[in-house]
Amino acid sequence: MKRKGEQPPAETTHYIIAKNGIFLKKGSWWMDAVVPVKQIAVLERQEISLRLKIKPISAVVLTKAWKFFRAVYKKQFTEAAVLLHYSEQLGWELTVPKQKATGAHVDYEMTDRLPGYVFMGTMHSHARMSAFHSSTDIHDEAEVDGIHITFGDLDEDSKFSLDPETVVNGTRFALNLSHLEGLVEWGKNPAVKVVYVTTKPRYTIECPEMSNWVVPDGWVAKVEHPSYLTDFLKGPSASVPFVPPLPQWDNGIPAFVDENPAAGSVGLNPALAVALAQKGP
Q: 60 vs 106, which CB is nearer to Zn ion?
A: 106
CB of 126 to Zn ion, least distance (A): 6
Based on the shown chain and the rule CB under 5 A, indicate whether residue 189 belongs to the binding site for Zn ion.
Answer: no
Site for Zn ion in 131-150 (CB under 5 A): 134, 137
Q: How many CB atoms lie within 10 A of CB 140?
A: 18
Q: 95 vs 134, which CB is nearer to Zn ion?
A: 134
Instruction: With contacts defined by CB under 5 A, name the span among 28-36, 87-95, 126-134, 221-229 that binds Zn ion.
Output: 126-134
Q: 184 vs 222, which CB is nearer to Zn ion?
A: 222
Q: 122 vs 204, which CB is nearer to Zn ion?
A: 122
Pairing between strand 81-87 and 91-95? antiparallel
Length reported for the chain: 281
Among residues 64, 126, 71, the alpha carbon closest in space to that of 95 is found at: 64
Residue number, nearest CB to Zn ion: 137
| C-alpha–C-alpha distance, residues 281 and 267, integer Å | 20
How many residues touch Zn ion (CB under 5 A)?
2
Instruction: With contacts defined by CB under 5 A, name the span among 87-95, 130-138, 169-177, 224-232 that binds Zn ion.
Output: 130-138
Cβ(240)–Cβ(76) below 8 Å: yes
Contacts to Zn ion by CB under 5 A: 134, 137
